[in-house]
Amino acid sequence: MTNIYHEKESRVFVAGHSGMVGKALVRELKNRGYTNILTATRDKLDLINQKQVLEFFKELKPDQVYLAAAKVGGIMANNTYPADFIYQNLMIQTNVIEGSFQAGAKKLLFLGSSCIYPKFAEQPINENLLLSGYLEQTNEPYAIAKIAGIKLCESYNRQYSDKFGVDFRSVMPTNLYGPGDNYHPKNSHVIPALIQRFHKAKVDKKSQIEIWGTGNVRREFLHVDDMARACIHVMNIDQESFKKNTEAMCSHINVGFGKDISIRELAEVIKEVVQYKGKLVFLDSMPEGTPRKLLDSSLIKKMGWEPEIPLFEGLKETYLNYQETYF
């Protein structure tokens, strides 16, 4: 079988290339000299449409697939559109994984989410804690879909690896941020939501900003460019080393920064980055999700990857990108 692990001429399809992670993956692949990066816009390929996806993959015949496409959002979006989050994500990943298999793609990397773990998981969260407890209710439908994606990859490996050389892998990123993030006023994650609100409050000279929750819950954040480097690193680990460090039914790999921060502390940092001078008011009657979510990323670090971008520097770059993009 041809070794495609380090062949930069391989046909590499990035599903979700227009999203924050997809854009970062394309940037990093180009930086590393990959010459055959394939993408498809939503008007040309609806990943929810199985017939379209299977036909597309049959024609495309990629060697490698990065599955970064997903419907994502913050607490409000997950609470408002639970059916959309579970249905669309199940369909996207099922179609892409099956399409990759039918088209003969040997390598696929599925991007999940740290919300797959139980709400009260032991911290930091090790990969083997998957399915060991109840999920956080606000994003349970999204988490269920992502868990299904992991198990799809594992199941295809178990059934088809020996016969067809299938090697489908999964990475579970912590909370991501960076250039190209979603700044929707209602459906964005915490960092873009706060950047947008602080900037508007500064421009409008508002004396205070209200923030959901107590501010005491803790989150870990990773710059999207670090995530892109981690994805390509995991994709290019040789199969023998990968199998040696994972298990057939627990093969997903955490990707985190290694440190967390309270939402209150995060808000203060973003306030400084944006140079907003007003007061922060925390609404402790509003939902704020899991108390703490810090990943144990010792496995991927053991396998040779480390994050490079500190939070403060990453936030400064992200805010600059926000200003350049929207103003």
- Give the active site residues: 142
Alpha-carbon distance of 228 to 236, in angstroms, equals 13
Q: Residue 131 corresponds to which tokens in the numbers above?
A: 């399915």
Residue 208's CB: how many other CB atoms inside 10 A?
10
Q: Residue 20 corresponds to which tokens in the numbers above?
A: 């924050």
Alpha-carbon distance of 77 to 9, in angstroms, equals 39
Kindly give the pairing relationship between strand 107-111 and strand 167-173.
Answer: parallel
Inter-residue contact 165 to 107 (CB < 8 Å): no
Give the residue among 276, 280, 281, 282 at the shortest CA–CA distance from 205.
Answer: 276
3-state class of 292 per DSSP?
A: strand
Q: How far is CA 252 from the centre of its chain?
A: 13
Instruction: Answer left, alpha or beta for residue 178, where phi above 0 means left and psi between -120 and 50 means alpha.
Output: left
CA angle 50, 181, 263 (to 5 degrees): 120
Give the residue among 216, 221, 236, 233 at the shortest CA–CA distance from 286.
Answer: 216
Q: At what angle do helices 224-235 and 20-31 cross, to 10 degrees?
A: 60
Residue 122's identity, in one-letter code, is E
Length of the chain: 327
3-state class of 167 per DSSP?
A: strand
Concatenated DSSP letters for 144-156?
HHHHHHHHHHHHH
Q: Residue 263 corresponds to which tokens in the numbers above?
A: 């939402």
